């Protein structure tokens, strides 16, 4: 069973207790929601990287040097 | 660090790990609060993240974050209660993510904002860094703060968190 550490700031005492059923359920909800958000973030990052690579290739095709492309992207 | 910072309590996770850390019965005698953390989880991934909740509430949170991976940047508002990017169990051994959460005016009757910065240190080329502006749309004074893994993973041994109180005078 998962546990949590509770630090009582009024006494300085730390206790370890089992999570309640509600807390366990909330963790599952949190994990599911984050998995969706993380997938969206990765999709966005992949799309950005692909767009950047495409732009670099097009600039190179126009005759820009590697240094000139790098300067434009900096 | 200014001498107006006072360590309220600090905790380190033991050998069995822990699902979350809660600072309870927070004294209402400071102006602001700050949590400094060094954390790692057992998630089967190089990265993980932390979520925060106040007074046991997970509702009415919103956020906006700016992140960088080392090769890309972006922003998001999709993850309420987001407070840090850290490392998971597949990250380089013995490294921990670290960060700070600052909570001003935690005893006020206004909504509670927080700001956070963190980095999922991995001793490698890619490492996700994040800046977060968060809001808890609740007027209650903050009496407890809970930190937990967003992936429902376990905080690893030697993960630690320290709660500081800050007075404005």
* Integer angstrom CA distances of residue B166 from B9, B30, B33, B106: 13, 6, 6, 11
Q: Indicate the pTM of the whole model.
A: 0.90
The C-alpha of A43 sits at a distance from chain B's nearest C-alpha, in angstroms, of 11
Grade residue B138 by pLDDT with cuts at 50, 70 and 90: very high
| CA geometry: angle A7, A24, B106, nearest 5 deg | 40
Q: CB–CB of B24 and A3 under 8 A?
A: no
Grade residue A19 by pLDDT with cuts at 50, 70 and 90: very high
Q: Say how many CA atoms lie within 13 Å of B161 toward its Cβ.
A: 30
pLDDT of residue B2: 55
Which chain A residue shows the shortest CA-CA distance from B82? A34
Domain boundaries along the sequence of chain A: 3-73
Question: DSSP letter at B118?
Answer: E
Higher pLDDT, B121 or A15: A15
Q: pLDDT digit string (tens) for B30-65?
A: 999 999 999 999 999 889 999 999 999 999 999 999
pLDDT of residue A48: 85
Domain boundaries along the sequence of chain B: 25-166
Q: Is residue B116 a contact partner of residue B99, using CB atoms and an 8 Å limit?
A: yes
- Angle at which helices A21-61 and A66-73 cross, to 10°: 140
Read off the tokens for B35.
């949590």
Q: Tell me the chain A residues in contact with residue B148 when contact means C-beta distances shorter than 8 Å.
A: 4, 27, 30
């Amino acid at each position: 069973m998962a546990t949590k550490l509770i630090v009582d700031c009024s006494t300085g005492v730390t206790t370890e207790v089992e999570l309640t059923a509600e807390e366990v359920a909330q963790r599952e909800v949190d994990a599911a929601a984050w998995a969706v958000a993380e997938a969206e973030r990765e999709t966005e990052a992949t799309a950005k990287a692909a767009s950047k690579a495409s732009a670099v290739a097009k600039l190179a095709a126009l005759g820009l040097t590697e240094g000139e492309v790098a300067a434009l992207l900096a | 660090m200014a001498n107006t910072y006072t360590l309220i309590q600090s905790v380190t996770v033991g050998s069995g790990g822990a699902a979350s850390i809660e600072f309870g019965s927070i004294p209402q005698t400071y102006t602001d609060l700050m949590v400094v953390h060094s954390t790692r989880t057992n998630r089967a991934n190089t990265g993980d993240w932390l979520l925060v909740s106040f007074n046991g509430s997970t509702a009415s949170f919103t956020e906006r974050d700016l992140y960088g991976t080392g090769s890309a940047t972006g922003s998001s508002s999709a993850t309420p209660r987001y407070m840090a990017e850290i490392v998971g169990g597949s990250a380089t051994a013995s490294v921990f993510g670290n960060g700070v959460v600052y909570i001003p005016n935690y005893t006020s009757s206004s909504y509670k904002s927080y700001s956070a910065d963190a980095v999922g240190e991995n001793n490698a080329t890619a490492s996700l860094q994040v800046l977060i502006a968060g809001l808890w749309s609740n007027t209650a004074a903050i009496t407890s703060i809970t930190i937990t893994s967003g992936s429902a993973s376990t905080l690893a041994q030697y993960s630690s968190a320290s709660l500081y109180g800050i007075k404005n005078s």
